[in-house]
Structure 1
Amino acid sequence: MPHIPMRYFTLLLLLSFFGLNLQACAQQTAVQKTKKASKKAGPVKKPAPTEAGPVITFERTPCFGTCPSYTALVYADGRVAYEGRRFVSMEGKKDLKLPAATVADLLRQAKESRFETFENSYSSGVTDVPSTIVAIRQPDGIFKKVTVEGNAPENVRELFAYFGTQFDALAKPDGTRK
């Protein structure tokens, strides 16, 4: 093994030490700059409900026959992201609009029906029936999802029928609503 003079060895150690410390200092400086920039920008705002996502989702699933199949994602401001799949007058993805008052009414109806207490699924056990799926964002931000394939109590059937009427009318190609 060749002999390395002590001064070169010391120099190598010092360079290694300072090189590592320079990297750490550079990283620390970058973090400090980021913190200062975020303080100047002000507090981070929580997204508004319309930015956070839909407040209601409504879906009709297909059956072995000609059952309409579509999905509607409803935002608090009335925007609706609609996708018609089968046996509907409007197929494909469409951006539709409901009056914000209608969205508020749908949410009010769900609250009055005590939607949060509904079971997650009501099924008749028959495989050929379509499902209707409603999910509503709860005050804690979590969606409560209920699937109905039959055998649901009257209050559940009534609420789902009301929702269905609103969304079936919305999906008409001429935009007419009852």
Structure 2
Amino acid sequence: MLAKFKYPALAALLFLTILFAACTAELTTVTSVPEATEPPNSEEPTEEPTAEPPAEAPTAYPVDEAGNLYVNSVDVLLMESFPLQAQAVVTGDLANGCIVLNGLTAVRDGDNWRIEFDLTHQGEMCTEALVPFEENVALDILGVPAGTYTVSAGDVSTEFTLAMDNGPIDEESSAVITLERTPCFGFCPTYTLAIFADGTVRYNGLNHVDVMGEQTGQISPEQVQALIDAFQAINYFDLQDEYTDLYVSDMPYTITSLTLDGQTKEINRYSGDGSAPMALLELENLIDTTVNSEQWTGSPPPEPILIEKPEG
């Protein structure tokens, strides 16, 4: 092929140049360069910490009695009930206007009760003047035996005395004698009495009496036995259960009962029925006088009068 050219050397050089260019083109590859990007952030975004406001000082907090409360007096009230109930009345002063008395507690230790105070300090601006107080707190004296006891508060103390054991009564098993006087058309004293085996007397004033409501009294066990003997002397268990004929209208009833040796007898007597034995009326009045019911009713028991049955 080269022999056909006039200048074979030049032709050979041209052929080699073309061949070299072709080889170079085959070996050359185009490489694309990616654009530079920022590396991804693998960390989660964090919030800037917020500063907490400073804690405020509490405006109310408990305080001790010392220097914050001064006791002036302690008294004990025994309420007429059965069993007896008692309250301590405490008077004194709080140190300033920021001291608050939330309540009192009576804590018993043997023969003594100690009054404890629940105090708090409230507010910042305090009036520097004593603040008087008077508070009551119940004393748990149920089941407490007869004796003398002390109640103290602060540096002040007082004493009270229980004349008898303050135990609860089982009325169903202990009530031996009862008496009830009912209303009439007028101003008849209306009340009930219950006498228990230990001599406890329970009175309940209902109408036309000086003392309304429940009161408690006491007689001796010997007096209780004397009343039982009086019931037996008139053969109470052999009498009629009721004497309720209306010889005269608008008069009261008197109801008595005796429980003895597991047996209970009740008699309902109308004052207008004259058929009841006089001994029953006298027994009714004996109950009143033995327990001194006049201290509550304000009047003595009625005269025992039997109304005769009208003729015809």
Q: Do Structure 1 and Structure 2 share a fold, with TM-score over 0.5? A: yes
The CA deviation at 1:69 is 0.6
Q: Residues 128, 166 of structure 1: CA spacing in aligned structure 2 closer, same or farther, 3 A cutoff? A: farther
Q: Give the total of aligned pairs.
A: 125
Question: Which residue number in structure 2 is paired with residue 74 of structure 1?
Answer: 195
The unaligned stretches of length 5 or more in structure 2 are 1-168, 301-312
Larger Rg: 2
Matched, 1:53 2:177: no
Q: How much identity, in percent, do the aligned residues show? A: 30
> What amino acid is the match of 2:175?
P
Q: Distance in 2 between matches of 1:73 and 1:162?
A: 14
How far 1:159 moved relative to its partner? 1.8
Partner of 1:35: none
Q: Deviation digits for residues 110-133 of structure 1, max 9, x if unmatched? A: 011111111011123144111111
**Equivalents in 2 of 1:157, 1:71: separation in Å?**
16
Alignment of 1:1-178 (within 5 A): 51=170, 52-125=173-246, 126-139=248-261, 141-149=262-270, 150-151=273-274, 152-167=276-291, 169-173=292-296
Match for residue 28 of structure 1? none
**2:186, 2:279 → 1: CA distance?**
27
Provide the C-alpha distance between the structure 1 equivalents of 2:295 and 2:288, rounded to a whole number of angstroms: 13
Q: Which has the larger strand fraction?
A: 2
Output the CA distance in 2 between the equivalents of 1:133 and 1:87. 18
Amino acid at match of 2:283: L
| 2:97 alignment counterpart | none
Task: Supply the distance in 1 between the matched residues of 2:202 and 2:283 (Cα, whole angstroms).
Answer: 21
CA RMSD, 1 decimal: 2.3
* Worse overlay, 115-124 or 154-163: 154-163
Judged with a 3 Å threshold, the aligned counterparts in structure 2 of structure 1 residues 164 and 122 are, in CA distance, closer, same or farther, namely: farther
Deviations 1:14-62 (A, max 9, x none): xxxxxxxxxxxxxxxxxxxxxxxxxxxxxxxxxxxx6323011111111
- 1:26 corresponding residue in structure 2: none
Letter in 2 for 1:145: E
- The Cα of 1:137 is off from its aligned counterpart by 0.2
Q: 1:53 to 1:127 in 2, by over 3 A?
A: farther
Letter in 2 for 1:136: L
Deviation, 1:160, is 2.1
TM-score computed with the length of structure 2 as normaliser: 0.37
Tell me the SS of whatever aligns to 2:295.
Answer: coil
Asked which structure has the greater RCO (Cα within 8 Å, sep 6+), the reply is: 1
Regions of 4+ moved over 6 Å:
none
Do the aligned partners of 2:288 and 2:294 also contact (CA within 8 Å) in 1?
Answer: no
Question: What TM-score do you get using the length of structure 1 for normalisation?
Answer: 0.63
